[in-house]
Amino acid sequence: MPGRQMHLGVFVLGTGNHMAGWRHEGAFSSHMELPVMQEIARIAERGKFDLLFISDAMAMDPTDHPSFMCRFEPTTLISVLAAHTNHIGLGATVSTSFSEPFNVARVFGSIDHISGGRAAWNVVTSSNPRAALNFGLDEHLEHEFRYERANEFVDVVRGLWDCWEDGAIVADKATGRFIDPAKVHPLNHRGRFFKVRGPVNMARCPQGHPVIIQAGGSPSGLELAARTADVVFSVVQELQPAQRAYADLKGRMAKYGRPPEAISVLPGVMPIVGSSDGEAREKLATLQRWVNTTNALTLVTSRIGYDVTGHRLDGPVPPPPLTQGGRTFHNVLYEMARREGMTLRDLFNLTAAARGHWVLCGTPETIADTLERWFVEGAADGFNILPAWFPGGFSEFVEQVVPLLQRRGLFRRDYEGSTLRDHFGLPRVPVPRTPDRALDVS
């Protein structure tokens, strides 16, 4: 296919990305069932999506989104989905703040082998302060400290994936020689946060490295993404700020010797499809009417990243303090609220719908036109689709919007490669040049 192509991912929350999506007629409400996730994966693969993505968090709040109250551990889930899909990439979140590099390297390396090269790791530092209480800490790690740890963490994981060269497994039955020690290397990493000898006990991944996803919007998060990420999930609401954010991230990559096309930027968008723009808006209004406003300020607090529970719901949005939590959403949401004179109730309506992401209501043509404009005018390389409910809200996008993008030559009609790196137009990661330090098998 000639020309630049969009990339599409689906952000899977089994009860729907809208807080009240599970109440929609025909929607999945009991999402802790494998057949539900298998059906979502089938729809995504039918739509030729690049990626199916499962998020995660390390704390539970009974006032939170239904899919956040209880959820599958994501690497377990995508391992199972690998056996029930053939083409789509499978991404999962694992925190660098509450994990160890050796374990993460093994888990995602295993999934890459199981799936035939379709694994992706979403690198997060965990923004929720309550998560620290589940890991023996009395308070959350400081924001910059978490990113310093994350940078070293990613380097160690990638180093472990590089401990094995291609062709290291010989498996010569005649001689009894199973590996070539000259092609397996220790890591011998000693850093500020980690001491890891290596090698990992796993042959080189089909992709060389699984795809790395990142979503941090703070300066530290953007630098981590510019240096290490293959895909970036962005939080945007309007075209011009999205264009500026896109250019800013791409502009940071040169200092790391990376071309701009080495990262695909996918803004999160919740499409509400209707036979008319008015019908689509009414679908959204119906969902909004089902949201319980009792927990409105709690919901806004959880998404904007700082406490607003002492403020009036119909009053202005207070400015953010410097916090140790995530800063991506609160910067985007507060700036939009300030610019547009929004109240906390306005912000609640926005976060209840798509948790701070962009909501796009309209006909298939309206939605396709808008996505095309963002893609063509330098705001996105594709989109992370957040269906308001499953399966219907997702099926409508796949069956009505995707064909329009295909007819316009903006999106693939079929898969052309077997790995997730193939889908994103990325080369397999080669084995780096290493010193002569073969594994000691004596």
Report the CATH number at residue 143: 3.20.20.30
Q: Calculate the average pLDDT of the chain.
A: 89
- Residue 324: what pLDDT? 47
In a domain, residue 301? The reply is no
In a domain, residue 282? The reply is no
d(CA 51, CA 264): 12
Sequence-distant (≥ 6) Cβ neighbours of residue 227 within 8 angstroms = 151, 256, 258
What's this model's pTM, rounded to 2 decimal places? Answer: 0.89
Please choose, from the candidates 302, 307, 161, 147, the residue with its C-alpha nearest in 3D space to the C-alpha of residue 215: 147
User: Long-range CB contacts (< 8 A, 24+ apart) of 75-83?
Assistant: 75/107, 75/108, 75/111, 77/37, 78/52, 78/54, 78/111, 78/115, 78/119, 79/110, 79/111, 79/114, 80/34, 80/37, 81/37, 81/38, 81/41, 81/52, 82/111, 82/114, 82/115, 82/118, 82/119, 83/114
Full residue range of the structural domain in which residue 45 is found: 7-276+357-423
In a domain, residue 313? The reply is no
Structure-block tokens of residue 73: 């551990």
In a domain, residue 113? The reply is yes
Q: Which residue in this structure is represented by tokens 């400081």?
A: 142
Is the confidence at residue 179, as pLDDT, over 70? Answer: yes
In a domain, residue 307? The reply is no
- Residue 442: what pLDDT? 43
C-beta of residue 392 within 8 angstroms of C-beta of residue 279: no
Is the confidence at residue 206, as pLDDT, over 70? Answer: yes
Is the confidence at residue 108, as pLDDT, over 60? Answer: yes
In a domain, residue 310? The reply is no
In a domain, residue 236? The reply is yes
Which has more pLDDT, 342 or 171? 171
Count the domains in the chain: 1
Cα angle 429-435-437, degrees, rounded to a multiple of 5: 105
In a domain, residue 319? The reply is no
The amino acid at 231: V
Which has more pLDDT, 433 or 362? 362
| 199: preceding bond cis by omega (within 30 degrees) | yes
pLDDT per position as a tens digit, 411-429:
999 999 999 999 999 999 9
